[in-house]
């Protein structure tokens, strides 16, 4: 498979982009690029190589992992052209391996609790999980709730672990004298695979949004959604502007509105939560017959404190503050 001509051509192109990266970073980037095609390090470095190549080709100066005076964290890039300076953070999401691991960890936890409590425990993730699941904490929380009543319980557990917010729905069924009543319920009914793609994108953006404190400059987050859960334009709109709700009138007319849970639109204490993020870029890598293409498009945050000029990305499809596309729409 690795010797297929299209794959060889794609690898050759990424290696040519790697040659543009300063030598001090080439070794670590090359090691990540050598990982398996479905591995997260490979996906994330492809995005970073695309961004580095894009900005370099458009005459931007690039600082890799610049120091931040307001945070110990370092963004992936600062890009500078004339008076314009933008911080750029990259995030690849949806690798199949992590989804499988999440399912396995939750299934084991649910099965252990079902055995210990003699009550069927169902765990449904409502978000992506941290790399290291705080299983002991979750187990103790569920056991504590199970003590309070021998009736069906349904509740949400939300917390932060390793700087990653997570949310789970827990369902505990009552003890049944007739065990056949529980037949087929079994351990975990996992919701990992059924998480909406828009929610996954939103989670990825949330992880990046507040890492650097008050940056006092425009901030661009770049997303690469690939693997088992490809990101489509409708998923991007759901992530940024809120999940869609359809209303059916008496006359049969359907109208659409959006929940106030979009990354751009959500609020806390009367204030937009992510006005420090100027825009979100989505990168797409596509196989087309015997070749491949790279494409990107940008959504400008209509509530951004520091807006980016669309003129900085001439020719790229962009949704501007008036919520209309310029330079075409993404494929």
Q: How far is CA 297 from the centre of its chain?
A: 16
pLDDT at 31 over 50: yes
pLDDT at 265 over 80: yes
Percent of the chain with pLDDT over 90: 40
Range from 33-42, 50-59, 117-126 that averages highest in pLDDT: 50-59
Where residue 185 falls among pLDDT bands split at 50, 70, 90?
very low
pLDDT at 189 over 70: no
CB 276 within 8 A of CB 307: no
Where residue 184 falls among pLDDT bands split at 50, 70, 90?
very low
What pLDDT is recorded for position 135? 87
- The residue among 312 and 245 whose pLDDT is bigger is 312
| pLDDT 10s digits, 202-251 | 888 988 898 887 778 999 999 998 765 578 899 999 999 998 887 766 66
Three-state secondary structure call for residue 260: coil
Strands, E assignment, 100-218: 121-125, 153-161, 164-172
pLDDT at 180 over 50: no
Q: How far is CA 108 from the centre of its chain?
A: 25
Where residue 38 falls among pLDDT bands split at 50, 70, 90?
low
Q: How far apart (Å, rounded) are the C-alpha atoms in residues 205 and 196?
A: 15
Where residue 58 falls among pLDDT bands split at 50, 70, 90?
very high
What pLDDT is recorded for position 124? 79
What pLDDT is recorded for position 249? 61
Q: What phi, psi does 72 have (nearest 5°)?
A: -75, -15
CA atoms in the 13 A half-sphere facing the CB of 24: 3
Q: How many CB atoms lie within 10 A of CB 83?
A: 5
> Global pTM?
0.74
What pLDDT is recorded for position 182? 40
Mean pLDDT within 64-74 = 87
């Amino acid at each position: 498979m690795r010797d297929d001509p299209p794959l060889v051509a794609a690898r050759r192109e990424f290696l040519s982009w790697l040659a543009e990266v300063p030598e001090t970073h080439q070794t670590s980037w090359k090691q990540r690029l050598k990982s398996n095609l479905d591995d997260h390090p490979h996906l994330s470095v492809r995005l970073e190589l695309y961004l580095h190549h894009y900005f370099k080709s458009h005459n931007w100066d690039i600082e890799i992992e610049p120091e931040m005076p307001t945070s110990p964290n370092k963004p992936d890039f600062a890009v500078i052209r004339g008076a314009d300076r933008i911080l750029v953070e990259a995030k690849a999401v949806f690798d199949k391996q992590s989804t499988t691991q999440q399912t396995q960890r939750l299934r084991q936890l649910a099965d252990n609790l079902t055995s210990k409590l003699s009550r069927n425990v169902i765990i449904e993730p409502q978000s992506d999980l941290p790399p290291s699941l705080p299983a002991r904490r979750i187990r103790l929380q569920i056991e504590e709730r199970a003590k309070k009543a021998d009736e069906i319980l349904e509740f949400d557990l939300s917390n932060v672990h390793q700087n990653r917010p997570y949310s789970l729905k827990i369902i505990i069924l009552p003890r049944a004298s007739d065990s056949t009543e529980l037949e087929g319920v079994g351990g975990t009914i996992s919701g990992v695979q059924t998480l909406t793609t828009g929610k996954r994108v939103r989670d990825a953006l949330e992880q990046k949004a507040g890492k650097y404190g008050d940056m006092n400059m425009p901030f661009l987050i770049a997303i690469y959604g690939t693997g088992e859960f490809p990101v489509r334009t409708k998923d991007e709109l759901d992530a940024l502007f809120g999940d869609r709700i359809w209303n059916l009138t008496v006359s049969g007319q359907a109208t659409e509105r959006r929940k106030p849970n979009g990354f751009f639109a959500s609020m806390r204490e009367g204030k937009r939560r992510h006005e420090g993020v100027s825009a979100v870029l989505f990168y797409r890598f596509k196989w087309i017959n015997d070749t491949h293409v790279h494409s990107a498009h940008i959504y400008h945050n209509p509530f951004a404190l520091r807006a980016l000029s669309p003129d900085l990305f001439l020719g790229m499809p962009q949704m501007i503050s008036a919520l209309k596309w310029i330079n075409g729409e993404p494929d």
